[in-house]
Homo-oligomer: A and B are copies of this chain.
Amino acid sequence: MTQTMRVALVGLGNVGRAFLELMTIKRRVLRERYGLELVLTGAADSSGAAFGAGHIDHANLLRHKRAGHGVGQYPRLGHRGMPAAEMVRQVEADVLLEASPVNLRTGQPGLDCVRIALQRGMSVVLANKGPLVVAYRELMDMAAPTLPSPVLTGNGGGWLKAGWGSQRLRFSATVCGALPVLNMGQRDLVACDIQRVEGILNSTTNYILSAMEAGHSFDQALREAQAEGVAEADPALDIQGWDAANKLVIIANAVLGVPATLKDVDVLGIQDITPDDLAAARARGQRVKLVAVAHRQNDTYRFSVHPAALPLDHPLASVSGWEMGIVWHTDIMGVQFARVDERGPIPTAAAMLRDLVNLYA
């Protein structure tokens, strides 16, 4: 027997379209391994929304988008100009998948979509960091299960609600795509005192630094990164360190139990790094990386995103090109390092699929 899960997708950029692709490629695996059948009942992009009687043929919607048409123009079910939030208010779906562009100031339009979905009792899977960075605590409180659960009766303040167990708001795709950074932090480093976290959390800047080391100019490297389809729509978010800072804020809230916001992160991007800086570091036996750090001091953490010259035997010095990586320094689980080599938007879409399956597993 197979369970049918109705999903609504907001945002049909690279990640959203990759998710539609996975719905086709992984259909059989989802049914055979997990007993799940995904059905797309709603979609929205900046042109409007599509939903209505029956479901949307996801392969057909993908062709429609690839042909350059907006969701609002989708035959029969399209509603031109309808805001995504309105679709979320009306659609019949079990899970909202939110993959619209990051907005660091307001979290919109994703934030309202998430609020409405949670209010309506839906589960939510996010690839978009904006709503979390702007309103982490509010969304976690909304997503907390209403049924009493053994662990949720604990007196742990933010910890338990930030947990993974019965949580219906999932966002493992927001930090390093397919690398399970948040899952490791929340579900695996249980009961640890995490003294320090160091990460290369943004692959665009890491690619640019590696390409500059190999002799490319900054602008040339940036264009290559944008062609790969993982750079943020606004390149300043990557280059100036804000994307890495967003991810650090999510780690702080979700793993370290600290209600940090972007204001708490000391941020410096790679915009002023020159090929000469990289060559000079190399001559000293070092490699320049954009490193996000959470360092515990007494009862709190200091957060920063800075270019840093790392010795070559530092784990993060081995994270090159499109790779990302993270180092956890713990008291009882040693030092753990995880690295991913992932290209394009498929791995991030795959992380959304992971969250979707894990909602019911």
Contact = CB atoms under 8 A, between A and B. Distances in A.
B337 A339 contact: yes
A354 B164 CA distance: 13
A155 B35 contact: yes
Given A151-B35, A153-B3, A342 B353 contact: no
Nearest to A322: B334
A177 B172 CA distance: 23
Contact of A36 (B34, B154, B180, B187): B154
A155 B2 CA distance: 7
A183 B187 contact: yes
A192 B350 contact: yes
A241 interface: no
Nearest to A30: B191
List the number of copies, as a whole number. Answer: 2
Contacts of A334: 177-179, 340-343, 347
Interface residues of A, number: 67
A102 to B, nearest CB: 21
Interface in A318-344: 318, 330, 332-343
A108 interface: no
Nearest to A337: B339
A343 B33 CA distance: 36
Interface string A140-184: 000000000011111111011001110000001000011110011
